[in-house]
Structure 1
Amino acid sequence: MVRFIVRRLLFGVLVLWLISVAVFALFFVAPHDPARTIAGRQATPETVALVRHRLGLDQSVLSQYGHFLSRLLHGDLGYSYYNSEPVRSLIATRLPVTLSLTLGGAVLWLILGVGIGVMAARRPRSLLDRTATVFVLGGLSMPTFLVGLLLLYFLFFRLHLAGIDAFPGGGYVPLTQSPGQWAQHLVLPWLTLALVSAATYSRLTRAALLEVLDEDYIRTARSKGLSERRVIYRHALRSALTPVATQLGIDVGALLGGAIITENVFGLPGLGQLAVQSVTTQDLPVIVGIVLVASAFVVLANLAVDLTYAVLDPRVRPT
């Protein structure tokens, strides 16, 4: 197991290095001039040249990448072009919002999706199964922004008109400041992510569980007189959760890089909102920092998925 973890970590480092090369080539070698963008259209050539020198853009490509990689290894993501704040500080202030949104939503959509999938698999082709199919089709066809706007309209606007302020319409309160208000402000964003994502997990759980229930060891467990509940939850569900773990790693890794739509609908100051603002202002260091942080989260999520495989299914346990 230790050798497997080390191999995966080394592979992850290699992936991150390749991503750093790709990001550098995309943002620093591609044909555009950030010095001209920062200096403005009316700037003189001398001013543009001064800005380019201060940014180190007048050096060779290899020299620029060497400085870029050296800063990354020291945790320095550079400074914002527009407010001169360290990119690391900007990301650090936004990261707790995205973490709260992603992890809370993931817990909610796992409970909802896996629960519906198990109930549908236990009674295939029943009314419950057909209802779950309608839920899956509805969830897959509803875009995130539409679900968020509908929740805002019915659970915030309409309730507010009735004098019930149970769900805030936006904003964020840090967990350390008030845990109750922190959860209250995130309920609607969590529901938005859960309702959109739970459909996928319900479908994956149902399909995988139906396949596992036809395995020989499940028939053996039933022949020993074990209760159906124990067969489902103690033996079959563990193996059936393997594709769910794969999908969870992909979704969580991607959302930790910024849940752009959900954060903008509910006005959450997370990485997704920061990414949109940075793209709008062409703040390249911030964009690069967010891309690298998101890539690191994806690599870590994939490592966690590989380790989860060994826990869920001993047949795929690495040696």
Structure 2
Amino acid sequence: MASYSVEERGVPNSLEYRLFFKNDKEQYISPFHDIPMYPDDSKNVFNMIVEVPRWTNAKMEIATKDSLNPIKQDVKKGELRYVANVFPHKGYIWNYGAIPQTWEYPGHKDENTGCYGDNDPIDVCDIGSKVCTRGEVIQVKVLGTLALIDEGETDWKVIAINIEDPEAAKYNNIDDVRKMKPGYLEATVDWFTKYKVPDGKPKNQFAFNGEFKDKDFAIKIIKTTHEHWTDLVSKKKDGGGINCANTTVSDSPFCISQECAKTTVEAVAPCGTAKPIPPKVDEWFYYQKNQELKVNV
């Protein structure tokens, strides 16, 4: 099974910080395009790129519009974006990331939700007990999915578990999560419902009245997004601002050389001493009747 490593560039906790990826040959790759959706030929598990480790707040994400798609922190109004703590949740309540080689095509109106795709790789919530590291590539079993409608766009949230979790064998579908981790699915809906409210936005909505769909449904959705990605990197679909530069997808017109990839990476300054995380990230919000009370902790 392939292994991957990351190279930090820029100053952590700054606008310039980037996390670039390498394969086991020490070649630069795009985590979006070059890491396969399936880690091996069995196709019973999927690769997951961890963007945000559990309990952390920095909204890190694959930079879909940057060459080689490094992980970087989302920016809002010129400032780094951190997800608020909405009681009783501290940061993200799962390891959060994406399945590579998937794309929620914004030109595709989902027959289930009636909304178009959000233009990103499909999101994954790993419910395993291990707190992963940023940029880690893990293998997960898909258990189900939640259909978040984010500002009018379909934003699927796949529920999965790390196959290396000690109890992974006990999880085979979404109902197993209800049995083994009571309250976790309800907490997941609560988290996605309220996480933008402290920023002055309304509660998020869901298709299917916030009900989770099962494993088979989730895998069907993932495969559809993979087909859209295939069309994207073969130039059959217009990706708009999506950067499709890759180093291993040989039949893609966007494939670039290692020399070009190295130039892209070295254009970002070497990794420096991390800046402090703003104290406001530790603030806690209490939600009640569309009002939230901010309390420092």
Higher helix share: 1
> Which TM-score band applies after superposition, normalised by the shorter structure?
under 0.3
Higher strand share: 2
Output the TM-score relative to the length of structure 2.
Answer: 0.22
Output the TM-score relative to the length of structure 1.
Answer: 0.21
